Amino acid sequence: MADSLPCRESRPLSGHVAVVVKGWPRLSETFIARELIGLERRGLRLRLYSLRHPTDRKVHASTRELRAPVSYLPEYLWREPARVWHGWRQARRLAGYRAARALWLRDLARNPTPNRVRRFGQALVLAAELPADVGHLYAHFLHTPASVARYAATLRGLTWSVSAHAKDIWTTPAWETIEKLGEAAWAVTCTGAGHAHLAGLARPGTVHLVHHGLIVPADIPRRPPRDGSDANDPVRLLSVGRAVPKKGFDDLLTALARLPEACAWRLTHIGGGPLLSDLKRQAGQLGIGGRIDWRGAGDEDEVRAAYREADLFALASRVEPNGDRDGIPNVLVEAMSHGLPVVATVAGAIPEIVTRETGVLVPSGDPAILAEALAALIADPARRIALGAAGAARVRHDFPAARGFDRIAELLQSTAACASPSTHR
């Protein structure tokens, strides 16, 4: 990797890796917690820096396994003026300050927003407060966390890298993506579609495909052969995800309302999100509100229990006009790992894991076809069992958690902690 690093002098990575995240902890980002715990178990010493304070009322039990200290950067600069002022006073003495300021001003001219100002302020604080033994910065998400890591790394003369996922890949302006990838030591992303897009914009060999991966449960539950004919024992449908437009929950509700009246089903939805009240209202207007259990945001134990109790998982993702879309939704991988058959749309990178052998794919934004697929699987428990077994086998073979953790640990451990030319002036 030495030839891909943007520096002239290098030494082996030592000390801590500073990990920049959007928020910590977050129920919807279990995959980040799993990765960081996996990296610690592989000998990496981490320090976590979060751009936001937690807002979820619940916390995944697994996040408590992370030993890394967590620091919260000023979420809004005006709330911590003394800290920001001190950060600026310290950062402006760094040899990389002029280069970082010029970089930020160039970005600000193309993106003149308060958010861009906030990111530079957070980077000043981060650069000022980073311990001397931090040798590399690693950001989760290509948009705002990568901006903070990029500015702070420039200030301190360090290398940085990024893990890109879904929305951040497709909604970050092309100019910004190209420049960030040009400066980052390397990038990883979790889908083939994302990898193809980013690799086309980056230096050769610097973007790596690393699936999030899961540990498949040792025992796959045996599910009763419900077929929707018994109103006292309906087929149990499950959908997990934040109530945001790209998840297509409104399409799923419309599809469910199209199912035959005699078809016995119940849906459990797990997830918070800004559209939750609208979805509940829509369900009532469609006449199916009484058949849906809205559980709100759930921790990983609650979600795992729901996977084991359900008969069929449904997700109606779609691509939004601004480009926002799913990658490979982690909930799909989780459901499949529990032997749960899935019905999903072709949006985003979903076809990379859901195939004809492991589930049912339908066009996005078409509730009528989605309803047909749901009705067919509700009435066919034998096919559900077969699809569930094939899905669990697919996850076990192609999405093992250890493989991804090993690869990212390898990249971090082999990254040279470079000094930028400005630090030698």
Tens of pLDDT, residue by residue over 185-239, are: 999 999 999 999 999 999 999 999 999 877 777 788 899 999 999 999 999 999 9
Q: Is 224 part of any domain?
A: no
∠ CA 173-423-157, rounded to 5°: 40
Based on the fold, state whether residues 262 and 200 are members of the same structural domain: no
How many Cβ atoms are within 10 Å of 245's Cβ, its own excluded? Answer: 16
Q: How far is CA 268 from the centre of its chain?
A: 22
Residue type, 318: R
Residue 218 lies inside a defined structural domain of this protein: no
**Residues 44 and 75 grouped into a single domain:** yes
Residue at 417: amino acid letter: A
Q: What confidence tens digit (pLDDT) does each residue in 370-393 have?
A: 999 999 999 999 999 999 999 999
Number of domains, the chain: 2
Helices 97-110 and 174-183: angle between axes, nearest 10 degrees: 160
User: Would residue 170 count as lying in a domain?
Assistant: yes
User: Residue 63: what pLDDT?
Assistant: 82
Does 226 fall in a domain?
A: no
Per-position b or e across 357-371, b if 16+ CB within 10 A of its CB: ebbbbbebebbeebb
156 and 201 in a single domain? The answer is yes
Question: How far is 25 from 53, CA to CA, in rounded Å?
Answer: 8
Q: Is the pLDDT of residue 307 over 60?
A: yes
Q: Same domain for 269 and 179?
A: no
Cβ(297)–Cβ(56) under 8 Å? yes
User: Does one domain contain both 145 and 22?
Assistant: yes
Examine the domain organization and report whether 74 and 176 are in the same domain: yes
419: pLDDT strictly greater than 60: no
Same domain, yes or no, for 61 and 97? yes
Domain boundaries, position 58: 2-213+401-424
150 and 266, same domain (yes or no): no
CA-wise closest residue to 375 among 364, 388, 362:
362
pLDDT bin (cut points 50, 70, 90) of residue 11 is very low
Q: Domain check: are 193 and 240 in the same one? A: no
- How far out from the chain centre does Cα 59 lie? 16
Residue 223 lies in a domain: no
Instruction: Say if residue 191 is in the same domain as residue 283.
Output: no
Mean pLDDT of all residues in 132-151: 96
Domain contains 221: no
Q: Is residue 228 part of a domain?
A: no
Residue 8 has pLDDT above 70, yes or no: no
CA distance 135 to 17: 6
> Which of 423, 409, 363, 424 is CA-nearest to residue 138?
409
The predicted structure's pLDDT at residue 14:
60
> Which of 267, 142, 253 shows the shortest CA–CA distance to 202?
142
What stretches of 130-199 show up as alpha helix (H) in DSSP? 144-156, 167-171, 174-183, 192-199
Alpha carbon distance 267, 73 (integer Å): 40
The CATH number for 288's domain is 3.40.50.2000
User: Do 201 and 125 lie in a common domain?
Assistant: yes
Model confidence over 34-57: pLDDT tens digits?
Answer: 999 999 999 999 999 999 998 877
Q: The pTM is what?
A: 0.85
Residue 17 phi/psi, 5° resolution? -105, 125
Please give the average per-residue pLDDT across 342-348, as a whole number: 95
Residues 205 and 244 in one domain: no
pLDDT number for residue 13: 53
Q: Is 229 part of a structural domain of the chain? A: no
